[in-house]
């Protein structure tokens, strides 16, 4: 059996020291520690992929806390099942001893308890995300009711701008002359042209 450690921080200016110290105390060999300085939004991380490529049945993966594995609980659940069921390795979360699939001597009961706890954590996290989305939507709805405007403000066009665009639309002014007169480039020209047509100004 090999013991591996996985550490992650979200950006290059953050420090892995606390996680590496925890691995040292746990007894993870330095050569078996993999670390990424990447967001936990998904599992497309170079060192994490290298780690799972060498994990074998009976090995142990150690992480300091569950959020070091990832941020999305649905993805964590899927990856947890892949490691413990498909690969057949164990997982130990140092900061949360109940999330240790070796519990009770590696019995089915131990794995079952860890899986159930993970499912509960996943439900709580998803429930909290739903509450946050609901509160945000309610806040926006109430703000709109008070007259608060959201999004980028609409461009207000001057009479000269509209007249120049109208001249182009009616074939009286060339595009290059219109762009020069308005002081804008080609992409901006067509963007404003489209908006003015949609608004009925042309």
User: Which residue among the candidates 10, 39, 65, 122 is catalytic per the annotation?
Assistant: 10
What token pair was written down for 82? 């892949």
pLDDT value at position 35?
A: 95
If the chain, 202 residues long, is cut into consecutive pieces of 10 residues, what is the mean pLDDT of each piece? 94 87 96 92 91 96 90 83 92 88 65 75 69 79 76 74 89 90 90 87 78
Q: Angle at the Cα of 170 (from 168 to 176), degrees rounded to 5? A: 20
pLDDT value at position 108?
A: 66
pLDDT value at position 49?
A: 95
Q: For every residue of 158-188, which 3-state class applies, written as one string? A: CHHHHHHHHHHHCCCCCHHHHHHHHCCCHHH
**11 in active site:** no
Residues β-bridged to residue 5: 33, 62
- Is residue 91 within 8 A of residue 101, CB to CB? The reply is yes
- Is residue 178 within 8 A of residue 165, CB to CB? The reply is yes
Residue 185 to residue 169: CA distance in whole angstroms: 17
């Amino acid at each position: 059996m090999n013991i591996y450690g996985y550490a992650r921080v979200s950006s290059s200016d953050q420090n892995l020291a606390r996680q590496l110290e925890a691995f040292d105390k746990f007894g993870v060999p330095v050569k078996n520690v993999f670390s990424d300085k990447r967001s936990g939004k998904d599992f497309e991380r170079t060192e994490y992929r290298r780690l799972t490529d060498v994990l074998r049945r009976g090995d142990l993966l150690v992480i300091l806390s569950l959020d070091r594995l990832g941020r999305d609980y649905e993805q964590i659940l899927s990856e947890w099942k892949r490691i413990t069921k498909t690969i057949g390795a164990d997982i130990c979360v140092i900061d949360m001893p109940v999330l240790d699939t070796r519990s009770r001597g590696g019995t089915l009961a131990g794995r079952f308890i860890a899986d159930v706890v993970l499912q509960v954590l996943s439900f709580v996290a998803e429930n909290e995300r739903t509450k946050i989305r609901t509160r945000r939507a309610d806040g926006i709805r109430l703000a709109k009711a008070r007259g608060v405007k959201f999004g980028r403000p609409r461009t207000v066009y001057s009479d000269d701008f509209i007249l120049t665009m109208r001249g182009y639309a009616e074939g009286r002014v060339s595009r290059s002359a219109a762009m020069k007169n308005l002081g804008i480039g080609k992409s901006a020209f067509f963007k404003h042209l489209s908006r003015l047509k949609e608004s009925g100004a042309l």
